[in-house]
Amino acid sequence: MEKKVFQLKVTLCRTKPPIWRRLEVPADTTLGRLHDVVQFAMGWFDCHLHQFVAKGVCYGVPDPEFGPEMEDENKVRLDQVLRKPKDKLTYEYDFGDSWYHDIVLEKALPGSNGKRYPVVTGGRGACPPEDCGGVGGFYRLLEILGDASHPEYKWMREWSGGDYDPKAFDLEAVNRAFQGRKKR
């Protein structure tokens, strides 16, 4: 029997042009696994806390310090929170920088027996560097990197890895890396 697969569009909110990824994942993927997939597809390094929010319910890694409101993301499947096209959930990564992502179910597809999932089928733009200060800090970084005469240019260039290209996105490289990755 073929598994149902969801085609999702993950968009990093408040970025222009939008930074996004299109994913195909099994519909029965847990939100905990989806966290790993989004981290990898976007280019994050999973260094910070995160949560999903769907219809007012928060899902993540339960922690007594955050109260009992957090539902366990490893006990909830994607097809339990997204049921029909255009259904959406929010994914927040790094509660300090507050990187919000809209995750929209574009369509449900029959899975292909010969295809490995998850797979990234499209995208645009490089993920902002970790700890750059959220959307505002990201655009400040881009402003500085765009002006070699800026007093912070040398330091920010070094801090961002020396060759940060905000337009870069290599679909084949992401999928090759996905195939070599172990599942959670």
Cβ contact 111:8 at 8 Å: no
The domain ranges of the chain are 4-125+169-179, 127-166
The CA-based angle 159-132-144, given to 5 degrees, is: 65
Omega within 30 of 0 (cis) for the link into 118: yes
Beta-carbon contacts of 157 under 8 Å, excluding residues fewer than 6 positions away, are 145, 164
Q: How far is CA 19 from the centre of its chain?
A: 10
Omega within 30 of 0 (cis) for the link into 17: yes
Report pLDDT digits (tens) over 121-145: 999 999 999 999 999 999 999 999 9
The SS3 assignment for 126 reads coil
Instruction: Compute and round to an integer the Cα radius of gyration of the chain.
Output: 17
**CATH class in words for 4-125+169-179:** alpha beta
pLDDT score, position 13:
98
Cα maximum dimension of the chain: 61
Q: If you average pLDDT over residues 149-158, what whole number do you get?
A: 97
pLDDT score, position 29:
98
pLDDT score, position 108:
97
Please give the model's pTM, rounded to 2 decimal places: 0.94
pLDDT score, position 178:
80
Cβ contact 8:122 at 8 Å: no
